[in-house]
Each structure stands twice: as C-alpha cells, then as structure tokens.
C-alpha cells in the first residue's frame, strides 16, 4: 500500500520519477523501488547541444540525478537527422537533481530531503489517498502502418540486407490516439499489474508522461564495471505448463532468434570495447531465457571494466543508442530507421534511470511503454522487432502485435 501511496504522492510534482523492479531477483538487479520528486536543478539543453555540457552538470551536482536520454540524441553522436513528427515532445536529454528521494528495500523506506523533513514527507505519503482505478475515456487507437504496408517495408529491408547495407535492424511502428484523456498514474498501475517487469517506471516531465513496463537494461555502472543486458528473442507464454516449457525450449533452440541475439551481443561487445580496458569485455551469459508474465525473452549479459577517466559523455558516445533497438552496423541502420519509420522515436528506445553521487548509474531501455502529452492529448506507443534476411514479414508483424497486447488491454 505504501508503494502505491508513494507513487500518487510523487506524481503531484511536475517532475518526478518512480522506478520499480517488481521484485525480480535475477543477476545484477538494482534497488527494489526508487522515487524522486521535485527539481532543485535540471539539465535540459537545446537540441544539438545536449552532450556538450553533460559532464559539467553531473560533476557540479555531486548528488543523485534522475532522468532520460532520448533516442534522437543519436544526432549528436553521429552526423544524423530526425525529421519525422514528434507529438510527445520529451527533450533529447533531461536530468534533474531531486528535492526528495525515497528508497524502498525489504519493507523499509529511506527518505532524503533537501527542503523538507523526512518525517513530514513520510506523513504526507502515508496520508495520500489511493483512488479506485476508473476506466479511461474512449480511446481510438490507430496504427501508423497497416499490415500490408508493414509487410512491404520488411521486404524492402530484406533487400537492403541482401545488398549488404546491414545485417540486422530493429524496425518499429507507432500506434497512437488523438484527443485522448487518461489518468497517467492509473494507466501505469494497470500496465504494471498486467505486465510487471524489472525495469518498470513512471516518469513525468511537466505535461509529458512515460508509463513504462520495460524488461530490459541498457547499461549499469557499478564501480568500474559496466553491465549491458540486451534482449533479442521473444515468444508468447502459454497457460498450459507443458506448452509453456515447450515454448521456452523452442525460443532457446531457434536459429533465427539466436542469430539476432548473437548479432546484438557482438555489437554491444564492440561498443564496450571502445571504453573498457583491453580484454576485459566478456559475455557472462549467452542466450539466457527469462520468463515474464506475457512473454519469454532471450537475454544475454555482457560486462567490461571501464577505462580510467571515461566520463558519462564518453560512455554515451560509445554505447548509445543501444544495439538492441538499432542493429548492425549501427550508423547505417539508424539511417535506414529514419528512412523507413514514420514517427520520430523520441524517448522511445531511449533510456530512463539514475546516476548516484559516486557516479554509478543504471538505465533501462524504453520499450513496452505508453507516452502521453497531456497538453495536446496525444497518446503513443511503439513496438518493433529485429529484422534479418531470414525474417518472415507476417511473423514479424504478429510479434509486434504480441508485444503491444498488454498495452492494448490497458487502454481498452
């Protein structure tokens, strides 16, 4: 109950972040639940200048920082552009030093405040009412591409692969609703209840909301160790235990899924090798099968030892955007993404997380997420899959619909 009260208390602030691991216990897991509210200082540079002063801002605060890196930060890492419409409007980077931080671990709440007394904040949270979740209004969800348009695009991408332009590409499409009014916290709670995942978050920056049920870690730093856990490989869960185990085994043995996974593992190894000490980049786990409420996923874990003197900007320039949401080779694939997708990704396939006072950090991959702009009442979610030459366009389309199922259930 306190966790729900905490969430509703946080969302009263125009800037807040709520991170919940939903008590998943697999390796390298972070804090159980972490919340941040209010902004003493914030970093939201103009587009084109987002990375220039990032390290300076991080070093000046010497405190916890929360926030995000949006996909279109790529335009400062490589000579790329983004010209598609963006009806949500998150900045390319936003980080904030919070007024209040709340950590939950094993039924214990630790509250740190700048302008308030922790006891007062605890009292406010404990007295916060948790309303009964009501249904959303009528939401007319539209697909940016119909089935045939999607299939035609996949066939064009296969031709790019055949010509050697790329090896694998993550292609995404948008579902959206205009003139929609939702209760963001209630929708997040419904999404998290239906699809509780280890990198879940509720994130608000003024009138922009991210309601995220992500299963994927982008990058974690602990001391001088970096950990990346890309996901490539998906299969539906079954209510029948025998069939469910068969699905897991099929995913593990699938040549296509293993091929996609090993491609992104090689890409992450290459990215980490730019900033890690020689011979320190290792694949701790290859083709790990992890089970979530809706899906089984194939997850690999890659680690490396960070070179001395490498800053946050250096790390982002080497690793962002993440390989699981782009493809290989990364720069060419991002050009194709711009050519064939119809919506700017924005915060989708970016990363949300935190940086600690001792310069450790943990950031997720923004997938399985609803984005909402309360000012223009525009709601959006995007889904995608990894495309190789051996991809079946109909099956890839069905995989996208499968990934969107939890979101559709919530909104309908």
Residue range 54-83, pLDDT digits in tens: 999 999 988 999 999 999 999 999 999 999
Residue with the two structure tokens 């030093």: 97
Cα(142)–Cα(149) distance, integer angstroms: 14
User: At residue 231, does pLDDT exceed 90?
Assistant: yes
> What integer pLDDT is reported at residue 31 of this predicted model?
77
Strands (E), 199-323: 199-205, 208-214, 217-222, 225-229, 231-236, 282-291, 295-305
Cα(113)–Cα(121) distance, integer angstroms: 8
pTM summary value: 0.95
User: At residue 92, does pLDDT exceed 80?
Assistant: yes
Cα(18)–Cα(61) distance, integer angstroms: 21
Could you give phi then psi for residue 389, rounded to 5 degrees? -60, -30
Strands (E), 241-377: 282-291, 295-305, 327-328, 351-355, 361-364, 369-373
User: At residue 29, does pLDDT exceed 70?
Assistant: no
Half-sphere exposure of 385 (CA within 13 A, CB side): 28
H/E element, 183: none
- C-alpha 385: how far from chain center: 15
Q: How far, in Å, are 385, 387, 388 from residue 160 at the CA level? A: 16, 11, 10
- Terminal CA-to-CA distance of the chain, rounded, Å? 26
For residues 245, 249, 251, 257, the Cα torsion angle rounded to the nearest 10 degrees is 170
Mean local confidence (pLDDT), 83-101:
95
> What integer pLDDT is reported at residue 310 of this predicted model?
96
Q: How confident is the model at residue 136 (pLDDT cuts 50, 70, 90)?
A: low
Residue with the two structure tokens 């949300």: 352
The tens digit of pLDDT for each residue in 256-272 reads 899 889 999 999 999 99
More confident residue, 26 or 123: 123
More confident residue, 335 or 124: 335
Buried b (16+ CB within 10 A) or exposed e, 270-305: bbbeebbeeebbeeeeebbebebebbbbbbbbbbbb
The tens digit of pLDDT for each residue in 147-203 reads 999 999 999 999 999 999 999 999 999 999 999 999 999 999 999 999 999 999 999
**Segments in 62-183 forming alpha helices (H):** 74-77, 118-126, 147-162
């Amino acid at each position: 109950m306190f966790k729900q009260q905490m969430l509703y208390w946080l969302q009263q602030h125009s800037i807040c972040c709520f991170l919940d691991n939903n008590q998943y216990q697999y390796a390298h897991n972070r804090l159980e639940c972490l919340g941040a509210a209010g902004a003493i200082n914030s970093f939201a540079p103009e587009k084109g200048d987002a990375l220039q002063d990032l390290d300076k801002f991080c070093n000046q605060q010497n405190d916890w920082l929360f926030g995000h890196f949006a996909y279109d930060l790529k335009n400062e890492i490589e000579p790329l552009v983004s010209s598609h419409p963006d009806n949500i409007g998150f900045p390319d980077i936003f980080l904030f030093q919070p007024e209040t931080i709340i950590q939950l671990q094993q039924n214990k709440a630790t509250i740190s405040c700048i302008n308030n007394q922790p006891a007062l904040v605890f009292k406010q949270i404990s007295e916060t009412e948790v309303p009964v979740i009501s249904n959303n209004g009528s939401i007319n969800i539209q697909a940016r591409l119909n089935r045939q348009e999607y299939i035609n695009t996949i066939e064009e991408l296969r031709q790019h692969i055949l010509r050697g332009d790329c090896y694998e590409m993550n292609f995404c499409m948008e579902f959206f609703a205009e003139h929609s009014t939702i209760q963001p916290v209630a929708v997040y709670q419904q999404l998290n209840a239906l699809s509780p995942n280890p990198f879940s978050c509720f994130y608000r920056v003024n009138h922009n909301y991210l309601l995220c049920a992500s299963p994927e870690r982008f990058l974690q730093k602990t001391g001088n160790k970096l950990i990346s856990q890309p996901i490539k490989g998906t299969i539906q869960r079954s209510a029948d235990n025998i069939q469910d185990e068969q699905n897991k085994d099929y995913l593990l043995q699938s040549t296509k899924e293993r091929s996609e996974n090993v491609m992104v593992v090689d890409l992450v190894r290459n990215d980490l090798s730019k900033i890690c000490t020689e011979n320190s980049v290792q694949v701790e786990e290859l083709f790990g099968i992890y089970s979530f409420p809706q899906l089984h996923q194939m997850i690999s874990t890659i680690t490396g030892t960070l070179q001395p003197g490498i800053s946050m900007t250096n790390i982002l320039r080497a690793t962002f955007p993440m390989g699981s949401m782009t493809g290989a080779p990364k720069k060419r694939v991002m050009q194709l993404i711009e050519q064939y997708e119809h919506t700017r990704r924005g915060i989708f396939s970016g990363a949300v997380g935190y940086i600690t006072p001792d310069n450790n950090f943990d950031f997720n991959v923004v997938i399985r997420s609803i984005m909402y702009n309360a000012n223009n009442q525009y709601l959006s979610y995007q889904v995608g899959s990894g495309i190789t030459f051996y991809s079946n366009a109909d099956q890839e389309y069905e995989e996208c619909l499968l990934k969107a199922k939890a979101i559709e259930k919530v909104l309908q």
